[in-house]
Amino acid sequence: MTRWWHGFSCILDCGQKTESIDDRAFRLKDEPCLANPYGMVLVERADEGSDSIGWAPASKARVHPKGIAVHTARAAHATDWPSELPAFSEEEIRSFRAMLGSHDIKTDAWGTADGSKSVERLYWEAHRQRGCVLTPRVAGARAGGIRRIARLVKIRLSAEIFGVEHILLSRMQFMHDGRTIERKQVPLRKLAWHESIDGSAVPWGEAALCAESCPYTEAWREGCRKALVERLGLSEEWQRKHLEEDVHSHSYRVEADTDSAGFPGLPTTYCIHEVTLRVADSSSPGVACIGLPHGQEFATAEGAFDATAYDEHRRLPIGTQLNIWTWDREQTCDATKSMAPAQSKVMMKRMSTRSALVTKGVSLPALSSQVYASMKMRLDQAELAPQAPNATLAAIMAGQKTDWSAVKRMAKHIADPKYSLRQFHKDVSSFPELSLYLLERDELSGAVTIFSSNTTLESASLSSGRSLGDEFQRTVGAFFAIYWMMRLHIDGKAGFVNGVDKQWKAVTKTPKDDEKRKTFEAKAQWKYLQKILKDAGLLKVTGGGLFATPTYEVDEQRVAALLALTAFHDIMKMSLLLPEVQPQHAPYHGYAAGNTIGDHDSALSYIMEHYPGMLPSFRDLDEDEKRSVLFTQCNLRFNHGWFVQAEAPPGAMLTSCRATLLGAGGAHKADVAFYFVHWLTDLAGAEATPLFGCEKFVTKFPLAVLNSFLRSFEFVGQVVTRTETEVVESYLKVRWDENVPPLGRSPKGPGAIAKMRLACMAQANSRGAIRAFDDLSKEDRQVLSVEMARTGCAEQSFSAALVPGEVAGQPAGPAFLVYYGPAFLQASPPKELAARLAMLAEVYRTARLLWPCTPGGAASNVSVRIDMLRSVSVKDIVSSDDFWILVRHNDAEAFVEKRVRPAAGAGGWEVL
């Protein structure tokens, strides 16, 4: 007998909905659901050991214990799949195959060997997509054969995420033929050849085929626009509104005589345009569709991608695929590129005075002729006797000393009202590492240039692509952020927000028309900014009260360590200073002996750990301060967005972070706070405009996000001495009590943790989310209460008074991280909140069917991705033209995906 699966769409408008059956992911009914007769269905991988994930038809539906139907797809090879959807006749393919054979192109193994594509795919590419031409070869050893020519445009889409440059990459692609490909690839598109072009009639020798401006294909800019529309779903209007082109970034190259992995034996020439586009404002609500501002992953489908097509004996068109996109931190250099040796060709340039009325940057340090001569001599010697692990670094730092008397003076007087910013800037020159920011190597000639100025820096483009002196300006900006933060009780707020005037005095009055600065000054959480300074041991506040004025005492040794770290923290962004891993230290953070360390944080850690003498300002710190400074370079593996929005269980958020802290030489809470102070000051100075205040935070960073981060820092530090679950529970209680608008007394009872998490997730919708939770059915409240109370930590539970009895003291799992859960609730109109919470409960139910709860899984966490739901209205979600499934892609990840409703009576969807 046929039974119908009632999924989360039923919750909204199925007239035959009855009480849920406990512990079942689906409601089983004898009659069809009026709202959505196919509900939410499941696809999971049967072969757990396979790297290939497919949706090949199974001979039967598997009946889950308790009678719940689970449609199981078996892992499959390409040969197991149905033939691709023919957009052409069999005769066309036979003729095309014969043509290839006549040119000695053997196609017997195409479409069956790993990574190869079918003859049909090549025919489609050449004659339907028009993404390539096949043209005769009239020269060379293989004259008389044919060659495939494809012209591409590759898009480097960049965005600032928490002040760090990231680029967008496709990390996983689910193809039309059932293959899953894991690779990191920028968005790209083959440029379409004009209909009038027949490759067979155009000889290879015609230069126009591979010319940068080819008359036979669409223009590369047009292809760029189409790529964003077709691959990411970004309309041209959206592109004009949110993207900026780096006009100097376009490049063009030809890769000839390439062996094609897709079509073995067919010589291929790629003509590649590359361009950089930047997201103008990562905090704009309009860019949430691509995972910003937090840099979350998202999915897009090309064509009518449908994972269930094969179960219904339908075939997908060639070119149809599902893409998983991720934001990756931009590397400052190609880690595989070998370092050029230090060169003796050294030049000195003096920059002209900038004529602008208002100057945002400071002057580069002026080098005396003696200093310049000394630097030049050391670089010349480095060429003759290069010193590991980097000859240029070793040469410039040889014999250098930090002026510790000046550094101690800075630390002692930094909170003194009489200690001016101008004097502080003068004293900063005590750190010899600052001279490293004056170096630049020409990529072509290898010449090292030393820049110097007695005036304010004029922006100029260098061969590296960055503006001259930008890293120096950013470093000065970080120094100024420290100065202003340590003086919040004096003039620090004004300087932090507005910067200084021509006399270097803090601008105390914010311009009336500068809304961002005014808002920041009024609504920034200054008390938490000051609190983290205290927690880091940099500042001690005593006294104060109703009739007393507080006193501020600086820990001079601790402040000196922070200043020293700031001086050399970004030197490895200068690619000519990156070290090479020596055999005795290999492997180091994944780098083998002889490799140049491309990640600037890892590169700096390597020098501090193995060559501390090359950094005088680090070498001379005492051991406790060295430990704190070295700790700032470790990867805490902590996701701020997850924590402040309560998006994930404690284990997913904090277990790796806690392991890092406990394994980092016994890090203390003060070290964690020191880490975050450095993170804040480094990001505050990220704009190369130090005299205009901390512009990154004040004008370009979402204030709500910053305030949430500031509030969370103290809790992250507690994980050194408390369990992950204890820390999260404390944080949730504080967020509830401090919520604006107020939410009333802290909740108690089995749904308390779920309510507190939902309040953080919903943010501005917090009140509505709590009311909606109370209005849910008993079954849905129970599901959310249980699943949102799972900790993902072994032998850890939230307080018994805040969770259901089946969870208290009985850890089990895995716990679920519903990725994009906060965005799903924050995007909701108030009237839809109850429906969205009911859907969220159904997502948890379905995930639990795929990952049954066991005591052995208590310490594991699974990501359930609802990217495709987050920006869709409830009305569209329950549309009768489609349905939604949860697809298990691997042991730790599942995705909610949209499918076209199968034809009535289609096989494979019944309980047998």
Which amino acid, residue 43? V
Tokens of 64: 């889950």
Q: Residue 197: pLDDT above 80? A: no
pLDDT for 210 equals: 87
Residues 6+ apart with CB under 8 A from 576: 339, 340, 392, 439, 440, 441, 448
Strand partners for 138: none
pLDDT for 442 equals: 62
The closest of 236, 201, 694 to 483, measured between CA atoms, is 694
Per-residue pLDDT reduced to its tens digit, 490-536: 999 999 999 999 889 999 888 777 889 999 999 999 999 999 999 99
pLDDT for 842 equals: 95
β pairing state of 267-279 and 133-136: unpaired
Q: Residue 698: pLDDT above 50? A: yes
Q: Which of 50-64, 123-137, 442-456, 817-831 has the highest mean pLDDT?
A: 817-831
The dihedral built from the CA positions of residue 374, 377, 382 and 387, taken in this order, carries a sign that is: negative
Q: What is the mean pLDDT of the chain?
A: 78
Residues 6+ apart with CB under 8 A from 741: 767
The region of weakest confidence among 197-211, 392-406, 453-467, 487-501 is 453-467
595 vs 577: CA distance, rounded Å: 13
Per-residue pLDDT reduced to its tens digit, 155-175: 999 998 876 788 999 988 877
Per-residue pLDDT reduced to its tens digit, 207-247: 778 888 888 899 999 999 999 998 888 999 999 999 998 87
Phi, psi of 521 (to 5 degrees): -60, -40
Q: Residue 84: pLDDT above 60? A: no
pLDDT for 665 equals: 60
pLDDT for 180 equals: 75
Length in residues, the chain? 912
Strand partners for 174: 180, 322
pLDDT for 313 equals: 52
Instruction: Quote the Cα angle for 36-42-43, to 5°.
Output: 135
Q: Is 420 exposed, middle or buried (0-12, 13-18, 19+ CB in 10 A)?
A: middle
Indicate the pLDDT class of residue 446, thresholds 50, 70 and 90.
low
Do 546 and 462 form a contact (C-beta atoms < 8 A)?
no
Per the model's pLDDT, the better-predicted residue between 583 and 135 turns out to be 583
209 vs 502: CA distance, rounded Å: 57
User: How much of the chain exceeds pLDDT 70, in percent?
Assistant: 74
Residue 908's alpha-carbon distances to 2, 54, 112, 157, in angstroms, are 11, 15, 27, 41
pLDDT for 54 equals: 30
The DSSP call for residue 754 is: H
Do 787 and 812 form a contact (C-beta atoms < 8 A)?
no
Q: Residue 77: pLDDT above 60? A: no
Do 815 and 860 form a contact (C-beta atoms < 8 A)?
yes
Per the model's pLDDT, the better-predicted residue between 354 and 663 turns out to be 663
Indicate the pLDDT class of residue 880, thresholds 50, 70 and 90.
low
Per-residue pLDDT reduced to its tens digit, 25-55: 333 333 433 333 333 333 332 333 333 323 2
341 prior amide bond cis, ω within 30? no
pLDDT for 373 equals: 63
Per-residue pLDDT reduced to its tens digit, 763-791: 888 999 999 999 999 999 999 999 999 99
Q: Is 371 exposed, middle or buried (0-12, 13-18, 19+ CB in 10 A)?
A: middle
Q: Residue 367: pLDDT above 70? A: no
Number of neighbouring beta carbons within 10 Å of residue 563 = 23
The closest of 350, 349, 494, 484 to 425, measured between CA atoms, is 484
288 vs 154: CA distance, rounded Å: 23
Report pTM. Answer: 0.60
The region of weakest confidence among 394-403, 605-614, 742-751, 798-807 is 394-403
521 vs 497: CA distance, rounded Å: 6
Residues 6+ apart with CB under 8 A from 688: 360, 361, 467, 469, 470, 473, 474, 477
pLDDT for 68 equals: 29
pLDDT for 611 equals: 95
121 vs 455: CA distance, rounded Å: 62
576 vs 448: CA distance, rounded Å: 9
Strand partners for 279: 243
The region of weakest confidence among 290-299, 351-360, 428-437 is 351-360
Residues 6+ apart with CB under 8 A from 637: 656, 657, 660
Number of neighbouring beta carbons within 10 Å of residue 520 = 23
99 vs 3: CA distance, rounded Å: 52
Instruction: Quote the Cα angle for 634-636-641, to 5°.
Output: 140
pLDDT for 168 equals: 94
